[in-house]
Structure 1
Amino acid sequence: MSLLVGCDFSSSPSRRKQIVLALGAQDRGRVVLQSLVRLDSLDAFSAWLTVPRGWIGGFDLPFGLPRELVNTLGWPLEWEACIRHFASLPRADVRDTFAAFCAARPVGGKFAHRATDGPAGSSPSMKWVNPPVAYMLHAGVPRLLDAGVHLPGLQPAVAPHAALRVALEAYPGLLAREVLGARSYKSDDVAKQTPERLIARKDLVTALEMGQTRLQLRLKLSHAQHDALVEDASGDALDAVLCLLQAAWAERQLQAGHPCYGLPADLDPLEGWILTA
């Protein structure tokens, strides 16, 4: 069984708000959750990435910026050069640059969007607050590059092999909404960790175990794992598992002969694409 990874990422991890990795594998038509790994620093994340073993992972952070934004700013139009330029900027400069871009645009169209944002229902990757996904890109993607991880659709294709580490952009909200609609299932704010959100997590975990999504994947949990996912009111562990299922879907697409893990053939190689969108 090949290793699968789901990552709930934080741009400023700490003991209180960790990066959570869900590790698992497919076995006889089910996705088995093997363990949860928690990392409380970006250095620990980088160290984990460089461990010499193969995996396919779904990472909850944007892998690219909107082409409209990059064009307007005059940044490099080749993906890796653009990411390296972006990573060279301090976060304060990122905020100021993106805020100036938004300030020059009309109400209702402040942010530039990637093509994947519509079908995925995701926040624009240039957003620096609520949620700060621009900072997640800034912190995460350069570390994937530095670790030598392969990012399909954004880098030249490589032949799959046992030691290949593959990172794909995932989005847990896309899969969660399929089950829950507009119901919220998590909050970092203790005051908002309500019984209604607890019930939503129970419903979501049950649906994943029953395979009741369009991904047609059944999640296999132990009783202790089931309880841990339901009881984590922040939803971080559950989000990592949702990304794990998206990574499993990508592995199935590869096994079925799809050359790019289920990503669309015509994706924009500057912007990237969210798995299953």
Structure 2
Amino acid sequence: MLAPLRRGSGDPTTRVDPSGAVWWGTTTPAGPTTLRLRKNRAGEVEAAAWGQGAHLVLDGVPGLLGAADDASGFVAVHDVVERGRRASRGVRLCASGRVWDVLVPAVLEQKVTGREAWRSWRELCCRFGSRAPGPVEELRVAPDPLQLRGIRDWEWHRAGIDGARRRTLIAAASVASRLERAVELRGAEGRELLQKVPGIGPWTAAEIAQRAWGDPDAVSVGDYHLPTIVGLALVGRPLDDEGMLEALAPYEGHRHRAVRYLGAAGASRPRRGPRMPARDYRAV
């Protein structure tokens, strides 16, 4: 249910227990909060929450489950996209309703491998975040803007976070409350607001928008692999960003949705294609 919000199998802010219930620790304006989602025998999703922001998180459950997502205007013009659409029946774009908790990992994922970014995310949550309220001892909540601004320089280095990403996160933390308005603005206007933060460009803004308000048109321009994946799937050859946007033009308004359908259809980068090299900033 919350797969787009999970950063790797070791994400300390999410857990799936043996019963299949999904646990999520998140920040809210009222404080750290925990949400549990589970399906009952009737197939209905039951929600429970712990913490001072429990009422806020519970109010956001419909959006989190994609209740506001509207794919009615989507028309597949490629067979592979149609296959993905059929494979994704019932799957909706989730919306966390909050910028901060998806902004931090999105910035961490800038220009590094997923494994590097996820390790840094675990470090920040476990060492500088909070224990999530409720019964799951190991569940964590990401550091809020105040906690993040209190991290010392050498601690950033220890977490494997270089100066550029550190400066972006600190800049975002200083205006975090204003950035939450992007959820209300939505679409291109919401993404433009996010990009007012130095260090947040189109790629990062799209990654945030996809999760914070379930933006169906936010394309991750600047992604290392996406143009190749889209190009091979739609036109049979790798593309650059400009070519990718041209190939996705028939899906304007739903371009991110089309990319999600490509993933559901099995589109992926070549196994022997170029890969971004892993780096360890702790050794710098």
Larger helix share, 1 or 2? 2
TM-score (norm 2): 0.28
TM-score (norm 1): 0.29
Greater relative contact order (Cα < 8 A, sep 6+): 1
